[in-house]
Amino acid sequence: MSAVDLDSDAQAMLKVAAGDRQAFAWLFDRYHASVARFAFRFVGDRERAEELTQDIFVKLYRHAGAYKPTARFKTFLFRVATNHCLNEVRRGEYRVSHTSSETPEGEETGAVEMAGPEGDRPDQALAGRELEQVVGAALGDMSARERAAFTMCRFEGMAYRDIAEALEASEAAVKSLIHRATLAVARRIEELQAGTAPARSRA
Amino acid sequence: MSCGFEEDLTAYVDGELPPARREEVTAHLDTCAGCRSTHALLRNTVARLAELPAYEPSSATRRAVMAKLDALPVPWWERLRKWLRPVVLVPSLGLAAAVGVALLLAGPGPDAPPELEDPAVMELAANLEVAEDYEVLGLDSAEDLEVVANLHELEATP
Ligand SMILES: [Zn+2]
């Protein structure tokens, strides 16, 4: 991300604080995919992720006045997103539903829509779906904070420092959350790779 | 798993360790088979996560969010600005007058009223009546303010 991008984000956000809907729409278009992805990885269900995404953007709009342009916009956005998701889980509104049984083999996945170039490579597509399932299962076993930290790190490419700010935690705590989460996913992937070796040679 | 370096291996893969610690871990990997294996596993995992299919967000979200923003309660100053609009002749002047009213309503305002062209002074005067009514009647809800604004709107109609 270039400095120009950050500046325009901050400028747009200041306009949003003054009630500018167009500036808000611009920020929405820029960050919708990131927030939706975060919500989906956090809650593991497409429909709930959609609700969370909407609520997060409404909150962003309502709390635009709290934004200080000294802070990176994306960090502020993910602070709003993380707070919202953690609160919803704490209130019991959302039961995290990352389960590998949710997407039986051969059926269309309800949780995630496959996109990308796997279409012409069936073996790769299968591996992708299996991977999706084990990652989902690992996410479901994590604590909410581990899941949030892991998601920001692995799917948004955020630096530990920014994740710490979004989570209102120390960098040392974030480092530990991400390590535990990544190791948990690693163990599951290790099992997958060991388990599917014969299947792969068959294909 | 009892090795003290293990905790740092993910941050090592992510390039998040301070340079001195990074060098220590690099040196340690040459001597510790356990960490070498965990490091390889973590590095492989991070690489595989990048292969996950992209998540396609719903295209309906934008409209839903905008509708929710429309349904939000409008702050009183926004509503005041909207009510004042039909009363005034020129929208931009009406806006300036509304800002003047908002300043007055917001508490101890400037000592002198803003300098405006003649028609604007008239508008400001009209809007000041709203502010006066507001204070005299001790109204505090936005609904009450709306009533006052509508009264003046009625008076303005020939
Ligand atoms: Zn070691």
Chain A residues in contact with B7 (beta carbon < 8 A): 176, 179
Q: Is B10 on the interface with A (CB under 8 A)?
A: yes
Q: Report the alpha-carbon distance of residue A153 to residue A138 in Å, rounded.
A: 15
Q: Is B7 on the interface with A (CB under 8 A)?
A: yes
Per-residue pLDDT for B33 more than 90? yes
pLDDT given for residue A126 in this prediction = 54
Name the closest residue on chain A to residue B60, using Cα atoms. Answer: A50
Per-residue pLDDT for A16 more than 80? yes
- The one-letter amino acid code at B96 reads A
Name the pTM for this structure: 0.69
Chain A residues in contact with B52 (beta carbon < 8 A): 128, 131-132, 135
Q: Which of A145, A128, A117 is nearest to A192 (CA)?
A: A128
Residues B57, A183: C-beta atoms closer than 8 Å: no
Per-residue pLDDT for B85 more than 90? no
Question: Which tens digits make up the pLDDT trace of A167-176?
Answer: 999 999 999 9
Per-residue pLDDT band for B54 (boundaries 50, 70, 90) equals: confident
Residues A58, B49: C-beta atoms closer than 8 Å: no
Per-residue pLDDT for B129 more than 80? no
* Global ipTM: 0.80
Per-residue pLDDT for A103 more than 60? no
Beta-carbon contacts of residue A15 (< 8 Å; ≥ 6 apart): A22, A23
Which candidate in A46, A150, A151, A182 is best for mutational testing of the B interface (most B CBs within 10 A)? A182
Number of CB pairs, chain A paired with chain B, less than 8 A apart:
102
Per-residue pLDDT band for A148 (boundaries 50, 70, 90) equals: very high
- For ligand 1, a single-atom ion, the residues with CB < 5 A are B 3, 5, 32, 35
Which two three-digit tokens encode residue B135? Answer: 């204070």
Query: How many CA within 13 A on the CB side of residue B87?
Result: 29
- Which class would CATH give A1-97? mainly alpha
Q: Which of A118, A115, A129 is nearest to A199 (CA)?
A: A129
pLDDT given for residue A124 in this prediction = 56
Q: Report the alpha-carbon distance of residue B96 to residue A104 in Å, rounded.
A: 63
Per-residue pLDDT for B91 more than 60? no
Residues A32, B66: C-beta atoms closer than 8 Å: no
Say how many domains are in chain B.
2
**B152 and B93 in a common domain:** yes
Q: Kindly state whether residue B106 falls inside one of the protein's structural domains.
A: yes
Asked which of A87-96, A127-136, A162-171, B12-21 is least confident by mean pLDDT, the reply is A87-96
Residue B148: give the domain boundaries.
86-156
CA of A163 to the centre of ligand 1 (A): 27
pLDDT given for residue A66 in this prediction = 92
Asked which of A95-109, A148-162, A181-195, B106-120 is least confident by mean pLDDT, the reply is B106-120
Per-residue pLDDT for B52 more than 80? yes
Q: Kindly state whether residue B122 falls inside one of the protein's structural domains.
A: yes
Of B45, B52, B57, the CB nearest to A128: B52
CA-atom Rg of chain B in angstroms: 32
Q: Kindly state whether residue B10 falls inside one of the protein's structural domains.
A: yes
Cβ-based burial of B121 (10 A; exposed 0-12, middle 13-18, buried ≥19):
middle
Q: Kindly state whether residue B98 falls inside one of the protein's structural domains.
A: yes
Residues A131, B52: C-beta atoms closer than 8 Å: yes
Q: Kindly state whether residue B112 falls inside one of the protein's structural domains.
A: yes
Angstroms from B31 CA to nearest CA on chain A: 21
- Which class would CATH give A116-203? mainly alpha
Mean predicted confidence (pLDDT) in B119-130: 44
Which candidate in A20, A26, A154, A196 is best for mutational testing of the B interface (most B CBs within 10 A)? A154
Residues A53, B46: C-beta atoms closer than 8 Å: no
Q: Is residue A150 within 8 Å of A37, Cβ to Cβ?
A: no
Which two three-digit tokens encode residue B153? Answer: 């709107």
Per-residue pLDDT for A158 more than 80? yes
Asked which of A20-29, A70-79, A127-136, B68-77 is least confident by mean pLDDT, the reply is B68-77
The average confidence (pLDDT) of chain B is 69
**B100 and B43 in a common domain:** no
Q: Which of A28, B84, A69 is nearest to A20 (CA)?
A: A28
Angstroms from B84 CA to nearest CA on chain A: 18
DSSP state of B2: -
Chain A residues in contact with B49 (beta carbon < 8 A): 135, 154-155, 185
Question: Which tens digits make up the pLDDT trace of A44-80?
Answer: 999 999 999 999 999 999 999 999 988 889 999 999 9
Work out the percent of chain B whose per-residue pLDDT is above 70: 46
Per-residue pLDDT for A190 more than 60? yes
Where are the domains positioned within chain A?
A: 1-97, 116-203
Per-residue pLDDT for B90 more than 70? no
Chain A residues in contact with B35 (beta carbon < 8 A): none
